[in-house]
Amino acid sequence: MNIEYLNGSLEITGVELDPQLTLMDSAQVFHWSRIDDIFYGTVCGRRAKLTPLPDGFRLDGVAEKDITFWRHYFDLDRDYRAVMESCKQYPHAYRAMQLLPGMRVLNQPAWEATIAFILSANNNVARIRQLVGKLIGLCGENGGIPSPEQLGQIDEATLRGIGCGYRAPFLVKTTKCVLDGLDLDTLRSLPYDEAHKRLLLLPGVGDKVADCIQLFGLGQGEAFPVDVWVERLMVRWFLPDAHGKKEIRAKAQEMFGVNAGIIQQSLFHCARLSLISLE
DNA sequence: AACCAGGTGCGGT
DNA sequence: ACCGCACATGGT
């Protein structure tokens, strides 16, 4: 992998990273937009324009002090080939990673992942995108997910007004928890189980959303979100006798360890895109 | 027009 | 601890 920085542009080449797959199709992040194969997004107030290249991408609008930030966001320092090799004893997992070589798991800010995945519950990807976009539209025009302070200014009725539905009070209450002093980033250094328990205290956060926050927002690779798709594919491909999402998650963590989350992401997409048949 | 969406909270067994 | 149901809304 090669990284070059010049005049606000960060060029990353020699890396398997498919922006369409990771930013738009992956259902791990919902607020990047694509216009004519160029991607626009704002993360923690840093607005960037991403242009795909044949073997990587270029990021424009990058301040020199933010090079490390973006490098971490796109998880550039991880050897995905090694992750793939780590699951070679599980042919379906290995195959899933082979089929999606450009797949990566982004390191999002904990707060942004929390808001996005509370909105994701019992919702489809197209609508999650739309909803996150409307939420962003409520707070200025920098294009990023509102900060806790910004969201704290918005009442439940307004959130219902943009289509949040019954998730509106979850957003309000969780925002209040954070404004009252809960520091999501401190969960990063806690063991998986402990961070999970604390996340469950937030309104609108159950097992699945907590795992998404841990995987996408806290850098905890043992997290293994189990939704209906993952439940089905795990039973079909790995655990024919398992029943219940909790058991599936525990067994997957035993099998895949700290790479469980990355492998889950590949399995999930292979199933969703029908790259591997569930029958 | 039903049915589904990367579920969660709640009350009743 | 497990089970069933309500919950808003729009895409397919």
pLDDT tens digit sequence for A170-223: 999 999 999 999 999 999 999 999 999 999 999 999 999 999 999 999 999 999
Buried b (16+ CB within 10 A) or exposed e, A93-124: bbbbbeebeebbbbbbbbbbbbbbbbbbbebe
Query: Among A208, A245, A246, A251, which one carries the catalytic annotation?
Result: A208
A208 carries an active-site annotation: yes
Nucleotide nearest to A229 (CA to C1'): B6
Q: What pLDDT, on a 0 to 100 scale, did the predictor assign at position A40?
A: 96
What is the CA A199 to C1' B12 distance in angstroms? 26
What is the CA A121 to C1' C12 distance in angstroms? 18
Q: What pLDDT, on a 0 to 100 scale, did the predictor assign at position A228?
A: 86
Nucleotide nearest to A26 (CA to C1'): B6
Q: In terms of Cα–Cα distance, which of A184, A144, A200, A164 is closest to A154?
A: A164
Which tokens is A140 given? 């200025």
List of chain A residues with pLDDT < 50? none
Q: Which of residues 126-155 of A touch strand B (CB under 7 A)?
A: 126-128
What is the CA A5 to C1' B9 distance in angstroms? 49
* Protein CB footprint (7 Å) on chain C nucleotides: 2, 7-12
Q: What pLDDT, on a 0 to 100 scale, did the predictor assign at position A140?
A: 74
Quick check: A264 and A252 in contact, CB under 8 A?
yes
- The pTM of the full predicted model, rounded to 2 decimals, is 0.98
Three-class SS string for A154-179?
CCHHHHHHCCCHHHHHHHHHHHHHHH
